């Protein structure tokens, strides 16, 4: 059964409490929190202090997606703010394995995100260490973009690798997902 992780970016920031309560009532499995720094991606959103405040409002697991340069500097801050899953971009950290180990040392799940042009082979050597792979189906940094159709093959290939190696990895897909394409994305192998 597919799980749903709505992005906080789609919420009314003037009334986050009400928006989060709606998500709880609607059955959201996770709350996807897109943290952007204006360096790794050309947009700025929010950071650990906002996540810490909204943690008090809900028990929905927080899926914290760090679209920030050198995320290893802030892992502890996001754990202390209430993250349940922390996902970093392979391209944003020099020492990916070390960053994954840092995340896991705090008892939270570790994920790695791949931009549309980043090949799956870039994470070959950390597959046994991660809990989640996030396939970006848009170029990160802004909400409301259109799904890049070539990502169908990437999602299918990643699903095949996970299944063939019997890995316990969540396959998450982010970007341009709508009611009109969600069923296809699930059929391609997204969790």
Question: Can you read off the two tokens belonging to residue 47?
Answer: 């950071």
* Phi, psi of 175, deg, nearest 5: 120, 120
Cα–Cα distance for residue pair 37/1, rounded to 1 Å: 33
Cα–Cα distance for residue pair 111/90, rounded to 1 Å: 10
DSSP secondary structure, 80-121, as one string: HHT-SEEEEEGGG-S-HHHHHHHHHHTTSEEEEEE-TTS-GG
Cα–Cα distance for residue pair 168/95, rounded to 1 Å: 23
Catalytic choice (37, 63, 131, 174): 174
Catalytic choice (12, 15, 34, 77): 34
* 34 classed as catalytic: yes
∠ CA(6), CA(41), CA(57), 5° rounding?
35
DSSP SS3 for 78:
helix
Cα–Cα distance for residue pair 118/136, rounded to 1 Å: 9
- Residues known to be catalytic: 34, 174
């Amino acid at each position: 059964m597919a799980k749903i992780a709505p992005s906080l970016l789609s919420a009314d920031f003037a009334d986050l409490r009400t928006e989060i309560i709606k998500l709880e009532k609607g059955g959201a499995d996770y709350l996807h929190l897109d943290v952007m720094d204006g360096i790794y991606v050309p947009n700025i959103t929010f950071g650990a202090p906002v996540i810490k405040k909204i943690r008090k409002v809900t028990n929905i697991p927080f899926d914290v997606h760090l679209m920030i340069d050198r995320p290893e500097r802030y892992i502890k801050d996001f754990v202390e703010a209430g993250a349940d899953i922390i996902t970093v971009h392979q391209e944003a950290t020099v020492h990916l394995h070390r960053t994954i180990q840092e995340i896991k040392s705090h008892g939270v799940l570790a994920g790695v995100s791949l931009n549309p042009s980043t090949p799956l082979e870039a994470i070959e050597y950390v597959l046994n260490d991660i809990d989640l792979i996030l396939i970006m189906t848009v170029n990160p940094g802004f909400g409301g973009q259109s799904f890049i159709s070539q990502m169908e093959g990437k999602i299918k290939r990643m699903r095949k690798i996970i299944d063939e190696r019997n890995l316990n990895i969540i396959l998450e897909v982010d970007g341009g997902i709508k009611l009109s394409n969600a069923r296809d994305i699930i059929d391609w192998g997204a969790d």
